Chains A and B, each alone.
Chain A
Amino acid sequence: MSAADPHYVAKTFMDHLPILQVVIPLISAPLIIFIGNRKLAWIIAMIASAAAFVIACLMLAQVKDGSFISYHIGGWAPPLGIEYRIDALSAFVLMLISGIATIVLPYAYTSVKSEIPKRLHTLFYALFLLCLTGLLGMVATGDAFNVFVFLEISSLSTYVLVAMGAGKDTRALTAAYDYLIMGTIGATFFVIGLGLLYMTTGTLNIADLADRIANQGANRTVQAAFTFIVVGMGLKAAMYPLHHWLPNAYTYAPSAVTTFLGATATKAAIYVLLRFMFSVFSPGFHFEDWTLYLIFIPFSLLAMFAASFVAVFQTNLKRMLAFSSIAQIGYMLLGIAMLNATGLSASIVHLVNHGMTKAALFMGVGAMVLYSGSAFFDNLNGLGRKMPFTGAAMVAAGLSLIGVPGTAGFISKWVLVQAAFENGWWIIAIAIMLSSLLAVIYVWRMFEVLYLTAPAEDCTATDPPLPMLIPMLILAFACIWFGFDTELTLGSARVAAEGLLAGSAGMAH
């Protein structure tokens, strides 16, 4: 496995983990279509994503000490061959993505039945796996063009998944179309950036790229490539003000899709952003410093305040949570802009903490929509009392969203503010705190609707069936658990952050 051995050939099962991570869901997707059986479709999807999760965990255990796994596809040595490269950061994000997929599928089993027409069920699971493949591939690969390919796989399947919400609300179609246009622009920008880099260096391997542009900071082509890549990925990550596609897509997509996307899609894009900004380009380039200070900080602050402010006034719970996601992405970008180990680990740990939190919340909304038909606050009155377990899960996750101590969200916020203090940025530290007050307001609106308003007299809502309830409770429990035990989350994030800050040295062969 060591990259130092040039004649290394992968032999055992364990050696093939990086490729299995992507190939298992990739193969399972067409398998589902060929078999065409609705029951089996779910089972196959479940097995594939659970396998992906196990693989991600195995790999994280191997690289948690700061080492990395380099896998050469077909035995072709990089930079000519395609390389898959797993380090602490990628393993950590892989674990999040595959973990959320595994936990969303049982939930989807019931929720899809009620939200999507029967004839589309097999297609749904196939697309779900394709989307998973794309997201995992983006993270696992060490080849820049591969990132683009997987980005497109995940995006195209996502557009269709969002559009499947049309069975309930035809606005899902326009939302998907919107997302399609914006997402395509983003992907195009990204590939233009890659083209420019290829033009300058003649390579597409990420580690090789990093070596070759190391002293080309003054090269305009490299600078242009950087711009295209940041804007392109910024679009996919819903970086403020490129977030326009997100609220509608999250609001009108089927609940299971919203849950999965909200917890993973933007996170994978942020991973790619991190990878390119730190491992390919290095903050040593003057233009990158400027981007961080002049673009990332103001826009992430705007996201934190403007998006939270908009969230406060939403009348639809799903939409409110979508705007809150945009604000939370602001926190992650802010952590990146701090450019120190603590800030980066705050961003990375927030990827995961926010992923769990939002997934639990979207699941809760989905369960309520099952009975109320829509996520408008008016239709959710008093449902927290009628659905005690769902309500409890949403309270736990809501508190984590605010960042109340004892929840995962608190840990992210603590580390982020600490990073601000380390840089001596008092004002930013206070801004982070003030923006979380806005989170208090919108989360509390949700609590008041769920608990303090009287439910309709003929309301028959009860907790959803166990397959929906258990994943939700697991995530809610995780929101609290990771507020106390941060060994796995923050520990991995710190290792990942150090790897990133080592720049291209962290990517050395």
Chain B
Amino acid sequence: MDTSTALYLTMLIPTVAMAGNMVFADRENLRDGITFLCAVLTFAYVLVILCNVGNGTTAELRLFEVVSGLSIAFHVEPLGLMFALIGSGLWIITHIYGVGYMRGNNEQHHARFFACFSIAIAAVMGIAFASNMFTLFVFYEILTLSTYPLVAHKGTPEAVKGARTYLGILIGTSIALLLTGVIWTFTIAGTLDFTKGGILEGKITPTLLPVLLGLYAFGIGKAALMPFHRWLPAAMVAPTPVSALLHAVAVVKAGVFTMLKVGIYIFGIDFLASTGASEWLMWLAAYSIIAASVVAMTKDNLKARLAYSTVSQLSYITLGMALATSMGALGGGMHIAMHAMGKITLFMCAGSIYVAYHKTEISQMQGLGRIMPITFGAFLIGALSIIGLPPLGGSWPKFLLMLGAADAGHLIIIGVLMVSSLLNIAYLLPVVGRGFFRPATDSKLPKTFAEAPLLVWLPPAITAVGCIVLFFYAGSIQNFLLPIVSN
């Protein structure tokens, strides 16, 4: 199959899944089956695209022109392909988990939930394969809008309030800042196509460059750069599958992915390095990394703690772009994959604990590790990967980022990354420690092995194994991503 057909299908199939959910709203097995099939097919077609890379079929696909010079167009490039692989691959796992969670937890409105979920995936595919900033922006907004009903899903006053924060910050930043930046870029550069080496060189005075970069950096609210990170903790009112796939993988990764795309293909790494325009962003990202970790330590609610951890980890990727070195950009790109695998594991474990025993606070989780060893084991592996210890996938991007910082001559940044790892240990490992080593305080808990339902504990176990596997394949990922920085 040629690449362009597969490209269409990766966006079309999730849309079919949405339609299936709406049509068969009352037949839950059929409905969830269709979605599962669509998830597998989407992943398969992304694999087809992967196999086609290098055999000459990777043409750009121009759908149509909206305004002269602005078209909805797609293409395949390594960073986007990796993002699509992660998004569609983890969709399969999260769907299985989601079915188990929604049924096991007696949540309402399953059809609406899975329909919005599918649309969000379609939007992620659009973002991953967008070949210009305009297309990316369109799908970026679709992603925001389609995830809003998921955050507001429970319909309780807190959910509505959280969803309002979510939407307010994401739409607010994207319209007020990002769109301004995009139109500005279009006016001065005359194009928005993602071009290696950037499109801005010689088009803008160096004094204004940091301003434009700021419009992008803050405008991409999904990257949760401080001070626009509040939406991410607010989104934790959503059911856990949403937090797992969307707020550890799809939505937030769409943010940092956009950040990398902008840095590499709009500004150009070399242009950023030669003008020093991104230096302020590097320091802000470093601040974000440390500050969010410190806040995470103060949170007793497990999902809130993970959310702040995500804010901190996302800034690694922004940092990678802002370092403006090849190693930094590579490390940032790789961190998208590694963090996705680690964080989705952690979130699914949190959901598993909630489904089984309705515990949300870390202080209530004492002794749970002994009765749910698989969940807590997976949590441990995920946590170690986030911390960045070998032999887990998360260790590589941290290594590359440090190399990048050394290349750029910012030794303090290396220090920041090390401190961050220590902080990660401080807020993640106590969860496991309490689970395994402290006696249970809740006398109603069972004394022996009693895990959450199979569909709920199996997916995090799979992704935990994935964290280990990724450690050994980091080299291939790096080689695969290399074209984004080499000429």
Q: In the complex, A422 Cα to B187 Cα: how many Å?
A: 7
B164 touches A417 (CB 8 A): no
Interface residues of A in 404-446 (CB under 8 A from B): 404-406, 411, 413-415, 417-418, 421-422, 429-430, 433-434, 436-437, 440-441, 444
B389 within 8 A of A: no
Cβ of B188: which chain A residues have Cβ within 8 Å of it?
421
A436 contacts across to B, CB distance below 8 A: 175-176
Question: Which of B66, B141, B179 interacts with A486 by CB under 8 Å?
Answer: B66
Contact A434 B176 (CB under 8 A): yes
Q: Judge whether B403 is part of the interface by a CB distance below 8 angstroms.
A: no
Determine if A421 and B187 form an interchain contact, defined as CB atoms under 8 angstroms apart.
Answer: yes
Chain B 182-196 per-residue mask, 1 if CB under 8 angstroms from chain A, else 0? 011011100000000
A437 touches B67 (CB 8 A): no
Q: Which of B404-421 contact A (CB under 8 A)?
A: none
Set B66, B145, B160, B179: member contacting A411, Cβ < 8 A: B66
- Picked from A399, A402, A414, A440, the residue with its CB within 8 Å of the CB of B183 is A414
* Chain B residues within an 8 Å CB radius of A181: none
Q: How far is the CA of A448 from the CA of B142 in the complex (A)?
A: 18
* Residue B155 is within 8 A (CB to CB) of chain A in the complex: yes
Interface size class of A (residues with CB under 8 A): 20 to 34
List residues of chain B with CB within 8 A of the CB of A406. 138, 141-142
Is A295 in the interface zone, CB < 8 Å from B? no
Q: Smallest distance from the beta carbon of B82 to chain A beta carbons, Å?
A: 25
CB < 8 Å neighbour of A421 from B66, B175, B183: B183
Does B183 lie within 8 Å of A405, measured CB to CB?
A: no
* B155: nearest chain-A partner, CB-CB: A452
The complex places the Cα of A436 from the Cα of B188 at a distance, in Å, of 23
Please tell me if A403 contacts chain B, counting CB pairs below 8 Å.
yes
Residues B145 and A404 in contact, CB atoms below 8 Å apart: yes
Residues 150 to 184 of chain B near chain A (Cβ within 8 Å): 152, 155, 160, 164, 167-168, 171-172, 175-177, 179-180, 183-184
B175 contact from A403, A483, A490, Cβ within 8 A: A403
Q: Is B267 in contact with chain A by the CB < 8 A criterion?
A: no
CB distance from A291 to the nearest CB of B (A): 26
Provide the bound-state CA to CA distance between A418 and B179, in Å: 11
Residue pair B67, A417 in contact (C-beta under 8 Å): no
Looking at chain A's contact residues, is the secondary structure mostly helix, strand, loop, or mixed? Answer: helix
Q: Given contacts A399-B145, A406-B138, are A417 and B179 in contact (CB under 8 A)?
A: yes
> Is A484 at the interface (CB under 8 A from chain B)?
yes
Interface residues on B, range: 20 to 34
What distance in Å separates the Cβ of B156 from its nearest Cβ neighbour in chain A? 10
Question: Which one of B67, B160, B171, B175 contacts A452 once the chains associate, using CB atoms below 8 Å?
Answer: B160
Is A433 a contact of B186 with CB atoms below 8 Å? Answer: no
Contact of B67 among A421, A430, A490 (CB under 8 A): A490
Q: With the chains together, A437 CA to B137 CA distance in Å?
A: 17
List B contacts of A417 (CB < 8 A). 179-180, 183
Closest CB in chain A relative to B270 CB, distance in Å: 26
Interface centre among A411, A417, A433, A484 (most CB of B within 10 A): A433
Contacts of A191-250 to chain B: CB distance below 8 A:
none
Is the beta-carbon distance between A444 and B164 smaller than 8 angstroms? yes
Q: Is A485 an interface residue, CB under 8 A from the partner?
A: yes
A442: min CB distance to chain B, Å: 13
CB distance from A75 to the nearest CB of B (A): 42
Give chain A residues whose Cβ lies under 8 Å from the Cβ of B138.
405-406
Q: A418-B187, A421-B183 are in contact. Are A405 and B141 (CB under 8 A)?
A: yes
Instruction: Please report which residues of chain A, range 453-509, place their CB below 8 angstroms from some CB of chain B when the two chains form the complex.
Output: 483-486, 490
B64 and A485 contact, CB distance less than 8 A: yes
Q: Which has the most chain A C-beta neighbours within 10 Å: B142, B155, B187?
A: B187
Q: Which residues of B contact A421 (CB under 8 A)?
A: 183-184, 187-188
Chain B: minimal CB distance from A401 (Å): 13
What is the CB-to-nearest-CB distance from B228 to chain A, in angstroms, rounded to a whole number? Answer: 14
Which A residues are CB-close (under 8 A) to B171?
402, 404, 437, 440
Identity of the chain A residue whose Cβ is nearest the Cβ of B134 in the assembled complex? A405
**Contact: B72 with A429, CB < 8 Å?**
no
A453 to chain B, nearest CB (A): 9
Contacts of A452 in B (CB 8 A): 152, 155, 160
Interface string of B107-139 (1 = CB under 8 A from A): 000000000000000000000000000000110
A residues near B168, Cβ cutoff 8 Å: 440-441
The chain B residue with its CB closest to the CB of A404 is B141
Chain B residue, CB-CB nearest to A454? B155
How far in angstroms is the closest Cβ of chain B from A5?
A: 35
Interchain CA distance A415-B183 in the complex, whole Å: 9
Q: Chain B residues near A418 (CB, 8 Å)? A: 183, 186-187
Does the CB pair A484–B66 fall under 8 Å? yes
CA distance A440 to B187 in the complex (A): 25
Residue of B nearest to A420 (CB): B183
CB distance from B299 to the nearest CB of A (A): 27
- Beta-carbon contacts under 8 Å, A374-418 to B: 399, 402-406, 411, 413-415, 417-418
A411 with B67: CB separation less than 8 A: yes
Query: B160 and A448: CB pair below 8 A?
Result: yes
Which chain A residues in 276-314 approach chain B with CB under 8 Å? Answer: none
Q: In this complex, what residue of A is CB-closest to B208?
A: A426
**Is A429 a contact of B66 with CB atoms below 8 Å?**
no
A398 to chain B, nearest CB (A): 11
Contact of B179 among A415, A422, A433, A448 (CB under 8 A): A433
Q: Write out, one digit per residue, whether chain B residues 210-239 have a CB within 8 A of any chain A CB (1) or not (0).
A: 000000000000000000000000000000
Cβ contact within 8 Å between A440 and B175: yes
Cβ contacts under 8 Å, B179 to chain A: 413-414, 417, 433
Query: Cβ of B186: which chain A residues have Cβ within 8 Å of it?
Result: 418
Instruction: Give the chain A neighbours of B145 by CB distance below 8 A.
Output: 399, 404
Residues on the A chain within 8 Å of B67, using CB = 411, 414-415, 486, 490
* B183–A437 touching, CB < 8 Å: no
How far does the alpha carbon of A448 sit from the alpha carbon of B180 in the complex, in Å? 27
The distance in angstroms between the C-alpha atoms of A437 and B172, with both chains bound, is 6
Residues of B within 8 A of A441 (CB): 168
Q: Which A residues are in CB contact (< 8 Å) with B66? A: 411, 483-486
A399 to B145, CA, bound (A): 10
Contact status A433-B64, CB under 8 Å: no
For A399, the closest partner residue in chain B by CB is: B145
Which residues in window 304-340 of A have CB below 8 A to B?
none
Distance (Å) between the CB of A110 and the closest chain B CB? 27
Per-residue B-contact encoding for A111-146, CB less than 8 Å = 1, 0 else: 000000000000000000000000000000000000
Q: How far is the CB of A448 from chain B (nearest CB, A)?
A: 7
CA distance A422 to B160 in the complex (A): 40
* CA distance in complex: A448, B163 (Å): 10
CA distance A418 to B64 in the complex (A): 21
Q: Is the CB of A440 within 8 A of B180?
A: no
Nearest-CB residue, chain B, relative to A434: B176
CA distance A429 to B188 in the complex (A): 14
Closest Cβ–Cβ distance, residue A61 to chain B (whole Å): 21
Please, which residue of chain A has its CB at the minimum distance from the CB of B135? A405
Contact present for A440 and B141 (CB under 8 Å): no
Which chain A positions have C-beta within 8 A of B137?
A: 405
CA distance A1 to B168 in the complex (A): 55
Tell me the smallest distance from the CB of A63 to a CB of chain B, in Å: 21
Residue of A nearest to B176 (CB): A433
Question: Given the complex of chains A and B, what is the CA–CA distance between A415 and B176 in angstroms?
Answer: 15
Closest CB-CB distance, A164 to chain B, in whole Å?
38
Task: List A contacts of B167 (CB < 8 A).
Answer: 440, 444
Min Cβ gap B235→A in Å is 16
Q: Return the contact of B176 from the options A402, A405, A430, A448 (Cβ within 8 A).
A: A430
- Cβ-neighbour of A437 out of B175, B184, B187 (below 8 A): B175
* Selected A-B contacts with CB under 8 Å, 6 pairs: A402-B171, A414-B183, A440-B175, A448-B160, A452-B155, A490-B67
Beyond the given A413-B179, A436-B175, A437-B175, please list 16 additional residue pairs across the A-B interface where CB-CB is below 8 A.
A399-B145, A402-B171, A404-B141, A406-B138, A411-B66, A414-B183, A418-B187, A421-B184, A429-B180, A430-B180, A436-B176, A437-B171, A440-B171, A444-B167, A484-B72, A490-B67
Instruction: Give 5 nearest A-B pairs by CB, closest first.
Output: A421-B187, A405-B138, A433-B176, A417-B183, A405-B141
